[in-house]
Structure 1
Amino acid sequence: MKYLTKTIEYGLYLLAFLLPLGTRWIIKAGPTEYLTYSLYGTDILLILLLMLFIFVIASDRRERSNLGFVAIDRGLLRRCAPRNDRVVWLLIVGLGLVLLVSIFFAIDKGLALYKFGWLVLGAGLFWLVSQAAYSRVKLVGSLLVGLGFQAGLGIWQFLAQATFANKWLGLALHRASDLGTSVVETVGADGVGERWLRAYGGLDHPNILGGMLAIGILLLIGQYIKFPISNNQFPNKFQISNFKFQNYLKVIFWFLLVIFSTALFFSFSRAAWLALAVGLAAGLLAAIIKKDLRAQRNLLETILVSGLIFFILFFQFPNLVMTRLYSGERLEIKSKSERLESIKNSWPIIKNNWASGVGVGNYTLALPLQRPGEQPYFYQPVHNVFVLAFSEIGIFGLLFFILIIIFPFVRLLRRREYAASRNDSKLAILVALIVVMSLDHWLWSLHFGMLFFWLALGLAHRDSCG
């Protein structure tokens, strides 16, 4: 049993590291990514881990029953307080039931069932992250190293203004000259129009890379603040009292912060920039309210370094930043108008299907019925997770979804141990997630976004349990 629990533990670390990879088998290609059926490599790993976890729990319970014990702690589970566990799982089951019901109202019931499978996998990941026995430092560290590779790839893509395709790494080819590629369109010093390729990393869109890195920076800061608290997570010879090892950790922290900040800049994702700023402000405000001088100092150090990187890069590429923030260039006007138009187009769908929704994953099929005759690229999910969820699963599903997000947030605020600085990063991450979800749809509409959301929520729930 010990070897199985270790397999689950290190399998979780591997899953966190591989999560950003888009390696997959395309079962049925659709006209858009939102209508494509795929089996991802991370799905296979997650399913195997869930099967092992279920087997370990069942075996342990059977053994305890045979021995006549009811409370043998083998380190297999980290349990939340019964009431807290019950509440969060009632909310998740409620959301699942609403999604199941929405399948019957879907235009494409097969697609809705496939997207429902994403929720099952996401809930399974939430269960593993919130209940399994593992080192949080190692899990977050594995995720951050995986994000580091994506950040490095994104930096190279922008500086080289090139990408490459690789099916084993799930990488697609993006050329700045191709229509549909995410670029910043501006006018150079010589008066000639330019198309600058934004950093994708190995993901489907620069906004996903940016949002992921914004959350990654907040996770990184949380680990930096927790260094002394995490002392017992390492073997004795590697503990933080070892001056040399402490310096190694600091070097790794600052290195990751630099490449995360650089890649975040090169993503040119306004939503991600805003999410990071709001998350940092929330963390700093909490530290000020609690008069936690150490957390304030660490946060200000990281803000200073990230700000300095943005400042230096801004002076290297001022026209690109100004274009993204203020310009009336063609693509920026188009981007803003499309976002506003998508919100406007969602309301008739919500009005006509407010109770049941149009079926999970079916928004882009319902939109042509509302606005027929448009170009194929017009039919995109609305750039707001909450509006998109309302459209697809109705008002009851939206309420369950919002309560699932709020629950760990409230638990963190109510915990007596909230005086510990380690909780600030969780609140900052939840705030940043809400900002990203309010300005984009990938945390609901895309496979990686769904798993990333449940991973972050699982970590927050685990910490809120104490």
Structure 2
Amino acid sequence: MRNLLSTISHKLTILGFFLLPWQTIWIYKQVVVNDHVWQYATLGFYLSELVLWVALMLWMIVSWKHKKISFRNINQIGPIFFAAMILLTLKASGDISITIQGLTWAVLSWWVALVIIHAKERNTYLTSFAISLIVAAILGFIQFIEQSVNASALLGIAAQVPETLGVPVVVAEGQRLLRTFGSFPHPNIFGGYMVLGIILSLRFIQSQKKMWFGRTLFVASLVGLLISFSRSAWLAAFFLLVYHIFISKRWKKTQHMSSIAVAIIAIFVLTYHPYILNRIQPSNHIEEQSISQRAAGYEDAKKLSMISPAFGVGFHNYTQALQENNSNLKGYELQPVHNVPLLIVVEWGILGLLALLLALWYLIKSSPHKKNLLVSLFILLPILMLDHYVYTLYAGIMLIGLIVALNVHLQGEQKNSSHH
């Protein structure tokens, strides 16, 4: 029975990692506000989430029977402390179900990170995930060439065309260019996962076991990153480059990819330079509107932070507080502020913020991977400061766990190789 449960858990974990880039979801509660869907009040189960939870439960059953679960063999203080902080915010939560949903995502992200760091089968899981990322990148490239996104209820993809108002586009010389979604709900999330793909590709190239596969993933991820036109993802990739060249000792093992990267970027810049300039230096109505909306979001955050300064409005309850503060807003206007630190201040309050900082301090202080945790924070910094999805959405929360785990795992491989 033990071998059977272990095998099923292993196979489900492979499937779960493959499904991570795909947004197939069963929605069991959807709220409509002023004739528009309120995305951040939606409750549902992602297919990858369900598969990974079943795999986790089976693993826990096997481990519990054989007494492998212990506070000594893995750092379990972190998730327990984090759960305690979330329970603290339940007191202030306007919608407890939203808080609980976010908590389950965070715990699952933590487990996925532990699997990558500790599991002997990590190579199989990461290969499965990488194959899926390549498929998602190819889908994104097709969308970019066709300048349209075909709807798929099965894959959780909505139809998108550049002519539709509100659809993420880049404008230059009167032409609207559709940004690429891939398999994700927004180009920024697609861009974030392409940065992750680049990190993962460096791992394959460095190991020299799957060089061709690593190169394929690198090219697919770099092209996907560029056509996402995500400023936060571009900056995260730049921070990754700075670390990789000036700090990491792995540069020599992957520098042969630099000529390929330069060629791809040069072709992209020469072909789409007017759009790139408008993205970097906003000079049209759409980019100016985007900036003004972000500025308005900062003002809203300041007001909402005064509702409950001590305990906050509750984990993942920012838009609930926003709706209560202004009932005239339509569903699509109920958006979190594009800044994770501000979101934390509003949702967790002063006490929650102090608890979070204490938890992070303990995690970094007690971890043998201090450098890698700080590197992960460095790479994620642009996304944390310019966006919210790594805190508010399932795909984003999983992205944090994946990036942190990959950085820790890569450092471990580097140390092992240096000892041979």
1:307-456 pair list within 5 angstroms: 307-370=262-325, 373-374=328-329, 376-402=331-357, 411=367, 428-456=375-403
* C-alpha contact 1:184 1:197 (8 A) present in aligned 2: yes
The answer on 1:177 being equivalent to 2:163 is yes
Change (3 A) 1:401 1:14: farther
Aligned match of 2:185: 204
1:275-294 pair list within 5 angstroms: 275-287=236-248, 292=249
Change (3 A) 1:280 1:135: farther
Larger CA deviation: 11-20 vs 157-166: 11-20
Aligned match of 1:234: none
Partners of 1:203 and 1:301 lie apart in 2 by 31
Aligned residues: 406
* C-alpha contact 1:359 1:393 (8 A) present in aligned 2: yes
Alpha-carbon RMSD:
2.8
The answer on 1:44 being equivalent to 2:50 is yes
Aligned match of 1:27: 28
CA displacement, residues 174-230 of structure 1 (integer Å, 9 cap, x when unaligned) = 11111221111221xxxxx22111100011100000011112202211332233xxx
Change (3 A) 1:431 1:45: same
The answer on 1:118 being equivalent to 2:105 is yes
SS in 2 for 1:166: coil
SS in 1 for 2:264: helix
Q: Taking structure 2 as the reference length, what is the TM-score of the superposition?
A: 0.87
SS in 2 for 1:276: helix
- Among 77, 80, 92, the alignment partner of 1:93 is 80
Change (3 A) 1:344 1:453: same
Partners of 1:165 and 1:361 lie apart in 2 by 28
Partners of 1:158 and 1:406 lie apart in 2 by 42
Larger CA deviation: 150-159 vs 340-349: 340-349
Partners of 2:207 and 2:359 lie apart in 1 by 26
Change (3 A) 1:303 1:408: farther
* C-alpha contact 2:130 2:197 (8 A) present in aligned 1: yes
Partners of 2:108 and 2:311 lie apart in 1 by 23
1:125-274 pair list within 5 angstroms: 125-131=112-118, 133-187=119-173, 193-227=174-208, 240=209, 249-274=210-235
- Among 37, 58, 64, the alignment partner of 1:58 is 64
* C-alpha contact 2:307 2:313 (8 A) present in aligned 1: no
SS in 1 for 2:53: helix
Whichever of the two has the greater Rg, that structure is 1
Change (3 A) 1:407 1:151: farther
SS in 2 for 1:34: strand
Cα shift at 1:362? 1.1
The answer on 1:106 being equivalent to 2:67 is no
Cα shift at 1:55? 1.0
Amino acid across the alignment from 2:380:
L
Partners of 1:406 and 1:316 lie apart in 2 by 46
Cα shift at 1:390? 2.2
Partners of 1:220 and 1:427 lie apart in 2 by 21
Cα shift at 1:435? 2.7
Partners of 1:206 and 1:447 lie apart in 2 by 15
Partners of 1:459 and 1:101 lie apart in 2 by 30
* C-alpha contact 2:188 2:233 (8 A) present in aligned 1: yes
Change (3 A) 1:21 1:225: same
Change (3 A) 1:453 1:405: farther
Amino acid across the alignment from 2:387:
D
Amino acid across the alignment from 2:106:
L
CA displacement, residues 239-269 of structure 1 (integer Å, 9 cap, x when unaligned) = x5xxxxxxxx322222221121111111000
SS in 2 for 1:13: helix
CA displacement, residues 395-449 of structure 1 (integer Å, 9 cap, x when unaligned) = 343345456666676645668xxxxxxx7xx865442223322221111111111
Change (3 A) 1:400 1:155: farther
Cα shift at 1:59? 1.8
CA displacement, residues 5-33 of structure 1 (integer Å, 9 cap, x when unaligned) = 33323322221111011111110112222
Aligned match of 2:260: 305
Q: Taking structure 1 as the reference length, what is the TM-score of the superposition?
A: 0.79
Change (3 A) 1:310 1:29: same
Partners of 2:168 and 2:103 lie apart in 1 by 29
Aligned match of 2:34: none
* C-alpha contact 1:218 1:428 (8 A) present in aligned 2: no
**Percent identity of equivalent pairs:** 27
Cα shift at 1:374? 4.8
Unaligned runs of 5+ in 1: 62-75, 188-192, 228-239, 241-248, 416-422
Larger CA deviation: 376-385 vs 322-331: 376-385
